[in-house]
């Protein structure tokens, strides 16, 4: 599992692997010898009442998550909290298309849903750490989808929730967005229905996939103000290649498509026969819903519509010209606002 | 020129062809025997003071334009005004990649700029109809780009201008948007650098191009409310194939890419050494700038920034959940609002 040039501990570590054994999936497949990659920061208190679960976005891994959201003096202070960071099924670090042996790997990797990830995470939290509740469950984008799934599936385990730039149910427009960047990979003849010989063969598809992220991932004003200059890039093209193509090129295409399909299907309404309002009405966690004002992928309007369905929740809008990819944590203003909201949420007695 | 299954008078007619002779282009090429396809509605008054120029959007032709914007009792009333509708160079009806003989046709068709179209249109207006001014110049999206070009290039000829859902200078984000749908065509191996044998060979690229339009062309709320139902479609997929793939599939890929490049380069600031404020400061036309509130392609913010640079102009925001493609005129509320604004503009003494 560790000889891949990108999916290994040198690049993304250190991390541990939690063995789930044979893990049946909601769509009917089974991950045999399923492993969930995770890492922790800070110390679990003797009373086990300081645990936080930080959930990953699309193509994001625990290392980047930790760098972006955890730090001394920040809301997620490792001197105060025990923070568990997990990696998605399909992320390349946990069980994924690229590291699953034949006949079930690669293009034959079974469909994974958000609910599968959250069930695996719950076993990690309970079996590995003996926790029966979490002080806070949070994540951005696909991490928000998982956070919502936690609050609906395990309402008694989640004291506070902070879904950031993500929805409890994927909107039709997001379905189209994810389809567009997925199709950018699949339309590369080198993809060969997922049976490419080497991920590098599909580099043109991966590059186009990155460009679709460029189209929606940042705000129109981010580009108009050439805010990429502040990141040390010398031109728009230099930025698109350097940041976006650079970020996605090392990924395995089937791994990305596994996560993309999961994103498209995500819907906590499945717990109430498709009734989103009924599902969100069962949430017990004190919830801050945190959209980004300039986000084209996850508009405030969609977040607010869901927030209204969650008892006792609050809408906390973060202002950032970075748009959706403010979640990367490279905009100091985003980080400052987010930490303030998370600090308030953690201070609430629940 | 008329034996193409799509670019002919049966589909898009009736129209006339105005012969420009050899027409030198701003980028250095020449269109030999250049023809501008146009049609007119209504009667030119004896005093030649009731002429309106209606300009086309991307892949739009004079017939669709007329159907969407002209009618008895509407702002553009053919009983009152003489309305000239033109087709873009590269549109398939005017001189275009698909109808230009070798060696200059197809992938060797020269680059055309918005300024080339407007110079050709000005010759049509002046030489064919003997007009030295227009009561109103208007258009949506790429039509707005041409309208802006008119107001800056021929300020004394334009009494009133109504750029709808378009900008005087293409924004960096629009550059990316147009690049994304262009790349959807070019990435089809059947495109062969523009030297495909038949446009139908490139149908997968054209279909993906249509899907990118689906991603940005309508608002997120349009999809959330499943507003395609009101158009008689039975599912999201039925809509995407029926409306969008259906609209773009008959087009010649090189024709679309000719228009797309023109869109990307459009910038009236070229008339003032790149100084957009100086260029727009020269506009003499009474101008209503008309963005659509839910437009993801052309945000209000970008339109307003330009409107502020135009002396005596007004920002008139149109509300439509259709977003950018409200310009198609299929939303009755858009049509009603637009007609009200255009009526007010036409009533102004200038």
String of DSSP letters for A217-270:
HS-HHHHHTTGGGGGT-SSHHHHIIIIIIHHHTTS-HHHHHHHHHHHHH-BGGG
Domain region containing A149: 9-169+268-347
Q: Is residue A257 part of a domain?
A: no
CA distance A190 to A184: 12
Minimum Cα–Cα distance from A183: chain B residue: B208
In a 13 Å sphere around the CA of A184, the CA atoms on its Cβ side amount to 29
CB A160 within 8 A of CB A286: yes
Residue bearing tokens 């650098």: B193
Give the per-residue pLDDT at B1: 41
pLDDT of residue B13: 87
Residue B2 has a pLDDT of 47
β partners of residue B55: B139
Contact between B304 and B291 (Cβ < 8 Å): yes
Rounded to 5 degrees, φ, ψ at A227 are -65, -10
Nearest to A180 among B179, B212, B236 (CB): B212
Tokens representing A300 are 């405030």
Parts of chain B with a pLDDT under 50: 1-2
Distance separating alpha carbons of residues A114 and A123, to the nearest angstrom? 14
Give the three-state DSSP class for A112.
Answer: coil
Of B172, B221, B301, the CB nearest to A236: B172
Active site residue B201: no
Residues of B in contact with A173 (CB under 8 A): 215, 220, 223-224
Number of domains in chain A: 1
Strands B30-41 and B16-24: what pairing? antiparallel
Using an 8 Å CB-CB cutoff, list chain B residues near A171.
220, 223-224
Option in A176, A188, A220 nearest B215 (CB) = A176
pLDDT tens figures, A8-51 = 999 998 999 999 999 999 999 999 999 999 999 999 999 999 99
Give the per-residue pLDDT at A180. 97
DSSP-derived 3-state class of residue B13:
coil
pTM attached to this predicted model: 0.95
Residue A261 reports pLDDT greater than 90: yes
Output phi, psi for B180, to 5 deg.
Answer: -65, -45
Residues A119-133: pLDDT tens digits? 999 999 999 999 999
B211 and A177: CB-CB below 8 Å?
no
Indicate yes or no: CB of A223 within 8 angstroms of CB of B301. Answer: no
Secondary structure of A75-104 in HEC code, one letter for each residue: CECCCCCEEEEECCCCCCCCCCHHHCCCCC
B198 part of the active site = no
Give dist(CA A332, CA A45) in Å, integer. 30
C-alpha to C-alpha distance for B286 and B281, rounded to whole angstroms: 12
Could you say which of B313, B324, B331, B341 is catalytic? B324
Interface-testing mutation among B179, B185, B186, B187, with chain A (most A C-beta atoms within 10 A): B187
A99 belongs to a structural domain: yes
Token pair in block for residue B49: 């003071």
Strands A16-24 and A30-41 come out as: antiparallel
Average pLDDT score over chain A: 97
Chain B residue closest to A237 (CA)?
B176
The answer to the question of residue B100 being in a domain is yes
Q: Is the dihedral of CA A106, A110, A116, A121 positive or negative?
A: negative
Asked if residue B202 is part of any domain, the answer here is: no
- Alpha carbons A1 and A332: distance in angstroms, whole number: 36
Tell whether A211 is covered by a domain: no
Overall residue count recorded for chain A in this entry: 350
Contacts of A220 in chain B (CB under 8 A): 171, 173, 299, 301-302
Give CA–CA dist A170/A166, Å, rounded.
8
- Distance of alpha carbon A59 from alpha carbon B340, whole angstroms: 48
CATH number, domain at A27? 3.40.50.1820
For residue A236, which residues of chain B lie inside 8 Å, CB to CB?
172, 175
Q: Tell me the shortest Cα–Cα distance from A177 to chain B, in angstroms.
A: 6
* In a domain? residue B65: yes
CA dihedral A177, A180, A186, A188 (to 10 degrees): -140
Q: Which residues of A touch B179 (CB under 8 A)?
A: 211
Say if residue A1's pLDDT is above 50: no
Query: Residues of chain B whose C-beta is under 8 A from some C-beta in A?
Result: 171-173, 175-177, 179-180, 183, 187-189, 204, 208, 211-212, 214-216, 220-221, 223-224, 226, 236, 296, 299, 301-302
Residue A2 has pLDDT above 50, yes or no: no
Contact residues on chain A for B212, CB-CB shorter than 8 A: 180
In whole angstroms, what separates CA B113 from the centre of its chain? 13
Query: Which pLDDT score, from 0 to 100, does residue A13 have?
Result: 87
Please, which residues have CB within 8 angstroms of residue A328's CB and are 6 or more apart in sequence?
A: A64, A68, A322
Q: Searching chain B, which residue's CA lies closest to the CA of residue A212? A: B180
* Model confidence pLDDT, tens digit, residues B162-208: 999 999 999 999 999 999 999 999 999 999 999 999 999 999 999 99
CA gyration radius, chain A? 19
Beta bridge partners of B163: B139
* Active-site residue, from B141, B182, B219, B266: B141
Q: What is the pLDDT of residues A84-96, one digit of tens each?
A: 999 999 999 999 9
Residue B307 lies in a domain: yes
Question: Cβ-count burial of A232 within 10 angstroms (0-12 exposed, 13-18 middle, 19+ buried)?
Answer: exposed
* Closest alpha carbon within chain A to B211: A180
Dihedral over Cα of A170, A173, A178, A183: its sign: positive
Please state, in angstroms and rounded to a whole number, the distance separating the CA atoms of residues B205 and B208. 5
Q: Do A172 and B204 touch (CB under 8 A)?
A: no
> DSSP E strands: which ranges in chain A?
16-24, 30-41, 51-55, 82-86, 136-140, 160-164, 286-289, 314-315
**B176: nearest CB among A175, A188, A215:** A215
Contact assignment for B171 to A223 by CB distance below 8 Å: yes
Q: What is the C-alpha separation between B284 and B312, in angstroms, rounded?
A: 9
Residue of A nearest to B224 (CA): A172
pLDDT at residue A54 greater than cutoff 50 = yes
* A247 assigned to some structural domain: no
The token duo for B180 is 């994304």
The interface pTM score, or ipTM, of the predicted complex is 0.93
Contacting residues of B for A216, CB less than 8 Å apart: 215
Concerning whether B133 is annotated as a catalytic residue, the answer is: no
């Amino acid at each position: 599992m560790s000889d891949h040039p990108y999916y290994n501990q040198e690049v993304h570590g250190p991390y541990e692997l939690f063995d789930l054994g044979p893990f049946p999936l909601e769509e009917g497949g089974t991950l045999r010898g399923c492993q969930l990659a995770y890492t922790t920061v800070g110390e679990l208190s003797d009373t086990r009442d300081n645990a936080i679960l930080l959930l990953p976005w699309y193509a994001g891994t625990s290392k980047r998550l930790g760098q972006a959201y955890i730090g001394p003096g920040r809301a997620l202070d490792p001197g105060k909290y025990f923070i568990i960071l997990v990696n998605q099924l399909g992320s390349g670090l946990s069980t994924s298309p690229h590291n699953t042996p034949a006949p079930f790997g690669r293009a034959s990797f079974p469909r994974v849903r958000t609910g599968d990830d959250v069930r695996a995470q719950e076993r990690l939290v309970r079996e590995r750490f003996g926790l029966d509740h979490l002080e806070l469950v949070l994540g951005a984008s696909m991490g928000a989808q998982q956070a919502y799934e936690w609050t609906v599936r395990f309402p008694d385990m989640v004291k506070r929730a902070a879904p950031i730039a993500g929805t409890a149910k994927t909107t039709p427009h997001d379905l189209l967005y994810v389809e567009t960047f997925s199709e950018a990979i699949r339309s590369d003849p080198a993809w060969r229905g997922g049976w490419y010989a080497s991920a590098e063969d599909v580099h043109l598809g991966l590059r186009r996939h990155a460009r679709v992220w460029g189209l929606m991932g940042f705000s129109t004003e981010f580009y108009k103000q050439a805010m990429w200059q502040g990141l040390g890039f010398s031109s728009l093209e230099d930025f698109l290649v350097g940041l976006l193509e650079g970020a996605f090129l090392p990924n395995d295409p089937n791994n990305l498509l596994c996560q993309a399909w999961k994103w498209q299907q995500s819907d906590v309404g499945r717990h109430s026969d498709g009734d989103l309002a009924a599902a969100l009405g069962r949430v017990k966690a004190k919830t801050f819903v945190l959209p980004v004002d300039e986000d084209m992928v996850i508009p405030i309007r969609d977040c607010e519509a869901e927030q209204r369905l969650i008892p006792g929740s609050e809408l906390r809008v973060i202002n950032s010209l970075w748009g959706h990819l403010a979640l990367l944590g490279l905009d100091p203003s985003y980080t400052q606002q987010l930490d303030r909201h998370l600090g308030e949420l953690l201070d609430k007695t629940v």
